């Protein structure tokens, strides 16, 4: 039996396999409310055999949306719209997960397929962004530095979002601390030049993330709380894998059970080289240094490639994004590629299409 199709238990939540769907923004909501598109999009991956389906970056406050078309979970109408989506994922055997997010200085931007770039200004439905410091992401409007009361409100918003997410049926809550969004902005010295207890030392820069984890654990004790990190800024003087490992270990002490290791997104001048499995070494470094369960993500597109990462001991789970968009039945295909089609959770309705072992 492959490692890829071996179940894994994390924080009381068991996934049927280790090939998961990474969060992917759809830029397709109005007023933060998910709709029929999100339902079809996410449920198909559960039918396609995913172990966990993680819904896209979901804003915990309106001003935390990346674009005006992003989904949210800051009110009850949004919670109620998420509930049938989480149920559809669960009924197809996958764990419903959701990424809870605040975009900070990278909020209020045009969606990728709007044909426009940069910040959405107030008159076009945008808003004033906030961040640890009043330093703009290159090409975007300048954010306002959060005061201490503003930071407290964000912690409370992650807690309230966690309650709504669990009430909607999500079992895994992924904190978005990657890709240059708010929590990553606090972690990296390139975007955080505050002079208070949220800046300077690693402990201080990690303070907000750790407060968020504490608040989420208290608000949603039945959920598995996980974190997505960018383990490298790919820029001089920035965040890196060693700092990620230290903070992951601190987060684990506070009850976070899994770390999804991505990279980049903090600054536009990042120097990043992509290719098959390009972020696997970062996952392996965090796993070895922190002794925590990690996911590898980034250009992992076949069953054998995914299995090799697990067999090398570089990660505990494989997440994929674009390969699921190309083939929503990626997990069913991956099992066939590994020579064990019956290891995948083929829906009964599709069994006539399953290859023989």
Shortest spacing between CB 181 and ligand FMN, in angstroms:
8
User: Judged by CB under 6 A, does residue 321 bind ligand FMN?
Assistant: yes
Shortest spacing between CB 269 and ligand FMN, in angstroms:
20
Question: 138 near 154, Cβ under 8 Å?
Answer: no
Question: 334 near 302, Cβ under 8 Å?
Answer: yes
User: Judged by CB under 6 A, does residue 230 bind ligand FMN?
Assistant: no
Tokens standing for 184?
């990553």
User: Judged by CB under 6 A, does residue 323 bind ligand FMN?
Assistant: yes
User: Judged by CB under 6 A, does residue 173 bind ligand FMN?
Assistant: no
Q: Which of 166, 95, 165, 167 is nearest to 319 (CA)?
A: 95
Would residue 198 show up in a list of annotated catalytic residues for this protein? Answer: no
What whole-number distance in Å separates Cα of residue 10 and Cα of residue 20?
A: 14
Shortest spacing between CB 260 and ligand FMN, in angstroms:
8
SS3 95: strand
What whole-number distance in Å separates Cα of residue 186 and Cα of residue 165?
A: 24
What whole-number distance in Å separates Cα of residue 269 and Cα of residue 255?
A: 34
Q: Which of 331, 341, 229 is nearest to 290 (CA)?
A: 229
Q: Which of 176, 184, 287, 333 binds ligand FMN (CB under 6 A)?
A: 176
The two beta strands, 19-21 and 317-320, are parallel
Q: Which of 71, 14, 69, 77 is nearest to 39 (CA)?
A: 71
Using CB under 6 A as the binding rule, the residues of this chain from 189 to 228 that contact ligand FMN are: 228
The total number of residues written for the chain in this structure:
357
Q: Which of 6, 24, 167, 254 binds ligand FMN (CB under 6 A)?
A: 24
What whole-number distance in Å separates Cα of residue 47 and Cα of residue 91?
A: 9
Of 56 and 316, the one with the shorter C-beta distance to ligand FMN is 56
Find the residue with minimal CB distance to ligand FMN.
321
The residue range among 16-24, 143-151, 210-218, 239-247 that interacts with ligand FMN, by the rule CB under 6 A, is 16-24
Question: 319 near 296, Cβ under 8 Å?
Answer: yes
What torsion do the CA atoms of 42, 43, 47, 48 make, to the nearest 10 degrees?
-10
Question: 247 near 208, Cβ under 8 Å?
Answer: no
Of 182 and 300, the one with the shorter C-beta distance to ligand FMN is 300
Shortest spacing between CB 25 and ligand FMN, in angstroms:
4
Q: Which of 29, 50, 56, 277 binds ligand FMN (CB under 6 A)?
A: 56
User: Judged by CB under 6 A, does residue 69 bind ligand FMN?
Assistant: no
**Could you count the other beta carbons within 10 Å of the beta carbon of residue 222?**
9
Binding track, positions 84-103, relative to ligand FMN; x by CB under 6 A: ---------------x----
Shortest spacing between CB 200 and ligand FMN, in angstroms:
27
Shortest spacing between CB 49 and ligand FMN, in angstroms:
16
The residue range among 115-123, 129-137, 153-161, 296-304 that interacts with ligand FMN, by the rule CB under 6 A, is 296-304
Catalytic residue among 181, 198, 278, 350: 181
Site residues for ligand FMN per CB under 6 A:
22-25, 56-57, 99, 176, 178-179, 228, 262, 297-300, 320-323
**Residues that are catalytic:** 181
């Amino acid at each position: 039996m492959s490692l890829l199709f071996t179940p894994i238990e994390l924080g009381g939540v068991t996934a049927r396999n280790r090939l998961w769907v990474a969060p992917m923004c759809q830029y397709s909501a109005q007023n933060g409310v998910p709709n029929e598109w999100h339902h079809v999009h996410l449920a198909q991956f559960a039918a396609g055999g995913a172990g966990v389906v993680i819904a896209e970056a979901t804003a915990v406050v309106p001003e935390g949306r990346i674009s005006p078309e992003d989904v949210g979970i800051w009110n009850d109408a949004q919670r109620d719209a998420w509930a049938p989506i989480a149920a559809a994922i669960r009924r197809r055997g996958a764990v419903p997960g959701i990424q809870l997010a605040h975009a900070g200085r990278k909020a209020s931007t045009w969606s990728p397929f709007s044909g426009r770039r940069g910040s959405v200004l107030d008159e076009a439905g945008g808003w004033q962004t906030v961040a640890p410091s009043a330093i703009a992401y290159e090409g975007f409007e300048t954010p306002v530095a959060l005061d201490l009361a503003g930071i407290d409100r964000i912690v409370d918003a992650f807690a309230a979002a966690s309650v709504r997410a669990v009430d909607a049926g999500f079992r895994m809550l992924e904190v978005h601390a990657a890709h240059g969004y708010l929590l990553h902005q606090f972690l990296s010295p390139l975007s955080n030049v505050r002079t208070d207890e949220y800046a300077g030392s690693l402990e201080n820069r990690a303070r907000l993330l750790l407060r968020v984890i504490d608040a989420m654990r208290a608000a949603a004790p039945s959920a598995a709380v996980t974190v997505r990190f960018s383990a490298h800024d790919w820029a001089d003087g920035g965040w890196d894998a060693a700092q990620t490992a230290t903070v992951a270990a601190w987060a684990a002490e506070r009850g976070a059970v899994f770390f999804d290791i991505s990279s980049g997104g903090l600054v536009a001048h990042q120097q990043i080289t992509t290719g098959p499995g390009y972020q696997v070494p970062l996952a392996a470094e965090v796993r070895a240094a922190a002794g925590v369960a990690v996911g590898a993500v980034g250009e992992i597109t076949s069953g054998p490639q995914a299995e090799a990462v697990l067999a090398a001991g570089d990660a505990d789970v494989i997440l994929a994004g674009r390969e699921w968009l190309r083939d929503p039945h990626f997990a069913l295909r991956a099992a066939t590629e590994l020579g064990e089609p019956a290891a995948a959770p083929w829906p009964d309705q599709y069994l006539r299409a399953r290859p023989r072992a």
